[in-house]
Structure 1
Amino acid sequence: MKKVIVIGGGISGLSTAWLLRDKARRAGIELDLTLLEKEATPGGKIRSIREEGYLCEWGPNGFLDSKPQTLDLCGAIGVGGSLHRSNDNARKRFIYTGGELHRLPENGPSFLKSGLISWPGKLRLALEPTPFIARAPGGDESLAAFGRRRLGQEALDKLIAPMVSGIFAGDPETMSLNSCFPRIAELEREYGGLIRAMVMLARKKKKEVAEGKVVSSAAGPGGVLTSFREGIQFLTDALNASLGDIVQTGIQVTAVEQGQSAPYRLQCSDGREYEADVVIVASPAFAAAEMLSGCDDTLATILRQIPYASMTVVCFGYERDRIGHPLDGFGYLIPKKEGCSILGTLWDSSMFENRAPQGKVLLRSMMGGACFPQYVTLSDDEVRTRVMKDLKDVMGITADPSFVRIFRHEQAIPQYTVGHGQRLAGLEERLKGHAGLILTGNSYRGIGLNDCVAAAQRASDEVLTLLGQ
């Protein structure tokens, strides 16, 4: 019986362990499987905190149902019936610029009517399909360079940059197009431009709907935001409960080294040692680097080159009758040039009706990111003051919040900066010399919850391939 150890009990590690056990059982393969998590409670950055009737998400607040990975996992572990999709308000997303909130247009006519982009900016966008736009350069390209080249500076400032901060908490000047949005790079190569690609794909989808091949959906951008009534932690709790004593908490792995009686030996901070035939490291890149430095210093050096952005999550609860804004939407993002402290605010209680007590609302604001790393060190009073000022400027809120919770993440989100693809290639090359050592998680090929589960599928398949040889 082969010994397999998963290091890290976030969504990536828990998903990998569950999928591996399930696939091994169905294949008739016996495994000695253990998951080691340094914290007392598994879940990583997924944590749903219920206080005073409010439900605050410490980290991510759900996943989009446009991809099958997480939906399939939920069904497999028996919690598919508990899924809780956001309501139609989540379709409405806003950008704050020029002193007002502008709803993101959902189609061509609404874009023409929108005041989000000026007429000169719209004309620049209209040039995007023409042959006058510079072709994609060879190699990697930053999101900012791509935005300026294809869409113009205004679209970069008001559309691309806020989107990048909202998804990655990143700086478009440093983020890689190929690694962050590979599909967009692919569409440009295949169709010669984004507008041309959108037109062609829309025609294709219309034809498929007419032929009954796909069902038209009224989902918001990228699908419907989906969670559970108890919060997204319900998923990691369910995985943990299903895995049972496979999960061992309060154990911090400090080193993964070449073993003697087994391929790998794990050393822990409390002096314990483990031996394993296969080691799956589902920890953040910076933590993986420290564990693996003694095993392969070059591998560790590459892992250290993956930077992380900090993030401060600020939850404010208010009496509903003290907020004049209708809060009929998902929330808004703020371009960096507007000079605000926050990256944006989600109207959590508008998307999910059980996020605040009756007669109250919950707003969740984000601060920091790659452009403002210093904000994670601000005091609670300074954070509260800055957020209140921005909410007043953007939404006209003058009332003091009756509920405040502040969560800080010094290393929150991995940054896929220019050259990320080359770093991944370097990792793959080094791992060829370490059979049975596998890296997974959101440091590599996607930061979202769906991406983590997809990576867990790949990692579990890789282990079964190894054991089947």
Structure 2
Amino acid sequence: MKKVIVIGGGISGLSTAWLLRDKALKAGKDLDLTLLEKETCTGGKIRSIKADGYLCEWGPNGFLDSKPQTLDLCRAIGVEQNLHRSNDNARKRFIFSGGELHRLPENGPSFLKSRLISWPGKLRLALEPTPFVASAPRGEDESLAAFGRRRLGQEALDKLIAPMVSGIFAGDPETMSLISCFPRIAELEREYGGLVKAMVMLAKKKKQDVAQGKVVSSAAGPGGVLTSFREGIQYLSDALAESLGDVVRSGSPVVRVEKGSSSRYRLTGQDGSIHEADLVIVAAPAFAAASMLEEFDPAVTSVLNQIRYASMTVICCGYECESIAHPLDGFGYLIPKKEGLSTLGTLWDSSMFENRAPQGTVLLRSMMGGACFPEYIKLSDDEVLARVRQDLRTVMGIEATPSFVRIFRHQQAIPQYTVGHGKRLAALDELLQPHSGLILTGNSYRGIGLNDCVAAAQRASDEALALC
């Protein structure tokens, strides 16, 4: 019987452990499985905090249902019937620019009517499918900013790409890798020679495939409906932990991983406890994995330490409905850096999901910090709230004092897939080859979203099962 230890009880570790146990049972393989989590509770950055009738998400607020990974997992653990889709408001997204909120255009006519991009900016975008636009540099990892300037122009970079990058990754487009962050966009450029051409060709293909009962993704991405649970997204991690039962040992931090006897791995806990295993799956963040593996393989640690993280402060504010004049019929808004405000944007949480705020109130969740503003993590709570209120006043005209406030700080919130990320992953793959049975998974490597984490858990569990 193989002994397998999963390190990390976030969504990646919990999913990996559950999938591995399930696959082993179906394959008739016996294994001794343990999950070690340093905190006293599982879930990692997934935490749904209920207070005064509000439901605040500490970290992510859901996943898109257009990809099968998380939906399949929910079905497998028996919680699919409890899924809670966001309403149609979530489809409306806004950008604050030039002193007003602009709804993101969803088609050609709405784009032409929109005042978000100036007419010179629109003309520059119109050049995108022409030979005048430079092609992608061969063999180079291009930054998102370089891609935006090359294909779409500076204005589109400032008002469309940069806010999107800060909203998803809390990242800086000048340093983030196109192919690692948005591989589909890079693929479309290679295949069709441009994004406009890709959209036209995919639209034609979609009509043909829909007629045949098929569905294809759009050029802009997979789309889908933001999905959670009425109890908050923590319901998923709690369900996984409950299903795993005694497999999970919380309050058990691992400080060191090294080679033990007979090709086994030896894990040392913070309290001096020793664990031995045939296979070790590290589902902790890259910086934590680097610390654990420092003595075991300094080269692996060196690469892991090159994966940087952006800090983030999340601010939840509750207001009485009558104190907000601006309609909250949308997902929320993002703010371009050039607008000079303190927040990256604000989500209208209670407009997307029911039961996020008491009757007669609304819940707004603002984001502050990220790779472009790392110093903001050091601001006092009073300064953070003052800046958030000033931005809400500027963007939405809210003068009232919030009746509910919660501030959550994440020192190392989101991994940054900066230029060269693909080479770092290739180096890790090569360095790990001699270490059979040591597997890295999580959102530090090939996707930061919930669907990405579950997809990575599928790959990690398959790799582990093959070694059992």
TM-score, L = length of structure 2:
0.98
* Structure 2 counterpart of 1:430: 431
Q: Structure 2: which amino acid aligns with 1:45?
A: K
List runs of 5+ in structure 2 lacking aligned partners.
Answer: none
Larger displacement relative to structure 2 (253-262 or 42-51): 253-262
* Structure 1 counterpart of 2:234: 233
* Structure 2 counterpart of 1:348: 349
- 1:221: Cα distance to partner? 7.3
* Structure 2 counterpart of 1:466: 467
Q: Distance in 2 between matches of 1:213 and 1:245?
A: 43
Q: Distance in 2 between matches of 1:271 and 1:466?
A: 28
* Structure 2 counterpart of 1:132: 132
* RMSD of equivalent CA atoms: 1.3
Q: Structure 1: which amino acid aligns with 2:150?
A: R
* Structure 1 counterpart of 2:296: 295
Larger displacement relative to structure 2 (221-230 or 36-45): 221-230
TM alignment of 1:447-466, pairs within 5 A = 447-466=448-467
* Structure 2 counterpart of 1:411: 412
Q: Deviations over 1:15-41 (max 9, x none)?
A: 000000000000000000000000000
TM alignment of 1:26-425, pairs within 5 A = 26-138=26-138, 139-214=140-215, 222-425=223-426
Is this contact kept in 2: 1:209–1:216, CA < 8 A? no
Q: Distance in 2 between matches of 1:408 and 1:423?
A: 28
- 1:172: Cα distance to partner? 0.1
Aligned residues: 466
Partner SS for 1:179: helix
Partner SS for 1:400: coil
Partner SS for 2:173: coil
Q: Distance in 2 between matches of 1:132 and 1:465?
A: 50
Q: Distance in 2 between matches of 1:216 and 1:282?
A: 30
Partner SS for 1:398: coil
Residues 215 and 427 from structure 1, CA distance in 2 versus in 1: closer, same or farther, beyond 3 angstroms?
closer
Q: Distance in 2 between matches of 1:280 and 1:210?
A: 44
Q: Deviations over 1:101-129 (max 9, x none)?
A: 00000111100000010000000000000
Q: Deviations over 1:377-404 (max 9, x none)?
A: 1000000000000000000000000000
* Structure 2 counterpart of 1:19: 19
Q: Distance in 2 between matches of 1:251 and 1:64?
A: 32
Q: Distance in 2 between matches of 1:150 and 1:313?
A: 33
Q: Distance in 2 between matches of 1:266 and 1:292?
A: 10
* Structure 1 counterpart of 2:441: 440
- 1:261: Cα distance to partner? 4.0
Partner SS for 1:195: helix
Moved over 6 A (4+): none
Q: Deviations over 1:221-253 (max 9, x none)?
A: 721000000000000000000000000010110
Residues 11 and 204 from structure 1, CA distance in 2 versus in 1: closer, same or farther, beyond 3 angstroms?
same
Partner SS for 2:385: helix
Q: Distance in 1 between matches of 2:42 and 2:148?
A: 39
Is this contact kept in 2: 1:6–1:36, CA < 8 A? yes
Q: Structure 1: which amino acid aligns with 2:114?
A: S
Q: Structure 1: which amino acid aligns with 2:238?
A: D
Is this contact kept in 2: 1:91–1:220, CA < 8 A? no
Q: Deviations over 1:323-379 (max 9, x none)?
A: 111101000000000000000000000000110000000000000000000101100
Partner SS for 2:204: helix
Q: Distance in 2 between matches of 1:215 and 1:383?
A: 43
Residues 221 and 403 from structure 1, CA distance in 2 versus in 1: closer, same or farther, beyond 3 angstroms?
farther
Q: Deviations over 1:397-416 (max 9, x none)?
A: 00000000000000000000
Q: Structure 2: which amino acid aligns with 1:11?
A: I
Q: Distance in 2 between matches of 1:211 and 1:450?
A: 27
Q: Structure 2: which amino acid aligns with 1:23?
A: K
Q: Distance in 2 between matches of 1:213 and 1:306?
A: 39
List runs of 5+ in structure 1 lacking aligned partners.
Answer: none
Residues 282 and 215 from structure 1, CA distance in 2 versus in 1: closer, same or farther, beyond 3 angstroms?
closer
Q: Structure 2: which amino acid aligns with 1:340?
A: L
Q: Distance in 2 between matches of 1:301 and 1:215?
A: 40
* Structure 2 counterpart of 1:4: 4
* Sequence identity (%): 80
Q: Distance in 1 between matches of 2:133 and 2:431?
A: 39
Partner SS for 1:230: coil
